[in-house]
Structure 1
Amino acid sequence: MFFKSFTDYLLLEKNYSALTVKAYQNDLDVFSAFIISEYQESSINQVNYAQIRTWIVSLVDSGMSNRSINRKVSALNTYYKFLLKTETIETNPLIKHKALKTSKKIQIPFSETEVALVLDPSNFEDGFEGIRNKLIIELFYSTGIRRIELIELKMVSFNLHNKTLKVLGKRNKERIIPLLESVISTLHVYLKAREKLEHITDSDYLFLTQKGVKIYETLVYRIINDYFSKASTKVKKSPHILRHSFATHLLNQGADLNAVKELLGHSSLAATQVYTHNSIAELKKVHVNAHPRSKK
């Protein structure tokens, strides 16, 4: 099937992660099912924009957010660009498509006080899960890694001699992140607790459940949400907000934007600049409090 050539292209040439490729595949499968159902077309390779537009309208009517719809259409557009590249089609039916308007989401980071409250040792229960959860939160906050990057960490990802962590990010791009002494200390405690698990199935992976299998996305989200619910009244409490807090707090303390970009694994500076609105607010506060003419 032609989808297979496309997914190989995404994996091998575009260097997309397996998770992203799976999402693209799902989007193509959903669109393909729609085209078969509505138009009795056996292939999506020769559809026109009017047919795609009908699909988009159906997604809007289903209550799906414009942001999610744009992501699906983007996957479809990437597929048609691939067909053009391989000379399978002559024109891209999405060539003149304009993305649906989306509202700009303002991500509100946790405060330094909230993070400190969560990381109080008294918040973590004794035993394997408490130690593991503490390490997860410390790693998110001290390295800014993404949820999927944390889940995919291996036992060999850490270099304790150099005090660094090797992370495999988007498009299989590796980056090295320095580790704080406090994180290394918690890691040693966790590894000792991990050794005592009765059954370990996914031995290569760092973070496991009590049953010895690799942790999963909903569990990681639940851990962050549960612990931060004790210290924060913010509506959204997720691994991404903790990543956002990492970047914001570094910038508030005067970190170089390019350095934060490298730590986060962003491919462009523009992606990192979304985190600067909070640091600008902090700079304004410092400026007003410190400038000799601010009191006049």
Structure 2
Amino acid sequence: MLERHSELLHAYGRHLGAERGRSPHTRRAYLGDVRNLLTYAAGRGILELGELRIADLRAWLGEQADAGAARSTIARRAASARTFLGWAAHTGRIPTDPSLRLVAPRRHSALPDVLKQTEAAQVLDIAAVRADDADPIHVRDRAMLELLYASGVRVGELAALDVDDLDLDQRVVRVMGKGSKERVVPFGEPARRGLLAWLSVRGALATATSGPALFLGRRGRRVDARQVRSTVHEMLSHLPDAPDLGPHGLRHSAATHLLEGGADLRMVQELLGHASLATTQLYTHVSVERLRTSYEQAHPRA
């Protein structure tokens, strides 16, 4: 069935990129979910997309639940199916959209792990001390960690930054976020110092193919998300009592610490590039949970 619908999938992929502005990572995830659905349908003898019914979609999700798929995975696949089939109906490729009444289990709104403010300070101090050995990679690592925590940018946004995206005088960085939406994010003086140190040694790694990329690897190519994650995990390994977080954990931590410091929720939403304020409100729950924990530890009648 996949070969039968290869042109359809190709057109849908173009739609996700050109019209909906989805990132390559999101397009791969959506297309993977649709391929999974089409493979399942073919196994049930459904070879034409227009033959899919709501019962088939529910059975598809139910089979994944029975196999132990996470609620978040099932919810994402349901959303992928609705987006795909809605597009197919809207463009006249199928007569009706069978996913209109498709309901997936709600995702658990688990509170993310975050660093304490003292832990964030400790890991950044460790990165600064390590950068003193003048190894350009260590200097780069310090700058990446400082900017991740100072700005709350996503790991993909950090990796995509170019040198010209920085304004060190104003201490802001221009970020291209989800949906190709640009935002300007401030950062503090420690991050500025880390970035200045990195820019002073960036030339030691830069090659003719480095282009404008802000952060480079050993061979002079733009860093990727995997390298950034590895750096964050390595640095946090020096704090045995801290949670093992990746770059997204630093983003969570930055948002939580901003709200704990009295920042306005709308400002944090703008800073993080959230389309919905409801997403940002998760961090208020994190702060309340930590407040409750501190209260229960300290109050004699807690």
Is 2:114–2:243's contact at 8 Å kept on the other side of the alignment?
Answer: no
Measured at CA, do residues 200 and 61 of structure 1 come closer, stay the same or move farther in structure 2, by a change above 3 Å?
farther
**How has the CA–CA distance of structure 1 residues 124 and 96 changed in structure 2, closer, same or farther, with 3 Å as cutoff?**
same
Of 232-241 and 78-87, the range deviating more from structure 2: 232-241
Q: Which one-letter code corresponds to 1:33 in the other structure?
A: T
Letter in 2 for 1:72: R
How does 1:129-144 map onto structure 2 within 5 Å? Answer: 129-144=137-152
> Does the C-alpha gap of structure 1 residues 212 and 46 become closer, same or farther in structure 2, counting only changes over 3 Å?
farther
Contact 1:66 1:101 in 2 (8 A): yes
8 Å contact 2:152–2:271 — kept in the other structure?
yes
Structure 1: gaps spanning 5 or more residues? 289-294
Deviates more, 1:59-68 or 1:127-136: 59-68
Over the aligned positions, Cα root-mean-square deviation in angstroms equals 2.6
| Deviation per residue, 1:1-54 (Å, 9 max, x gap) | 122332232223322223212221222223223333x13544434322333334
Query: Scaled by the length of structure 1, what TM-score is found?
Result: 0.87
Cα 1:234–1:180 shift into 2, 3 Å: closer
Aligned to 1:122: 129
Corresponding letter in the other structure for 2:158: L
- TM-score normalised per structure 2: 0.86
1:29 maps onto 2:1 in alignment: no
What secondary structure does 1:274 align onto?
A: helix
Distance 1:150 1:53 in 2: 38
Whole-Å separation in 2 of the counterparts to 1:104 and 1:285: 19
Cα separation, 1, equivalents of 2:77 and 2:85: 13
Is 1:231 aligned to residue 236 of structure 2? no
Residue type at the aligned position of 1:22 = R
Cα distance change, pair 52–283 in 1 and its aligned pair in 2 (3 A): closer
1:67 to 1:2, Cα distance in 2 relative to 1, 3 A: same
The amino acid of 1:48's aligned partner reads R
Contact 1:252–1:283 (CA<8 Å) still a contact in 2? no
Matched, 1:99 2:104: yes
Letter in 2 for 1:8: R
Whether the 8 Å contact between 2:216 and 2:223 is mirrored in structure 1 is: yes
Q: Percent identity?
A: 30
Following the alignment from structure 2 to structure 1, what is the Cα–Cα distance between the partners of residues 164 and 262? 32
Counterpart Cα distance in 1 of 2:107 and 2:11: 32
Deviation at residue 157 of structure 1 after TM alignment: 1.2
Q: Distance in 2 between matches of 1:143 and 1:134?
A: 14
- Of residues 182, 205, 209 in structure 2, which corresponds to 1:201? 209
Match of 2:25 in 1: 19
Q: Is the alpha carbon distance of 1:12 and 1:109 closer, same or farther for their aligned partners in structure 2, counting shifts above 3 Å?
A: same
Which is worse superposed, 256-265 or 66-75?
A: 66-75
Offset of residue 281 of structure 1: 5.1
Q: Contact 1:49/1:93 (CA < 8 Å) preserved in 2? A: yes
> Paired residues, what number?
289
Aligned pair partner of 1:171 in 174, 179, 196: 179
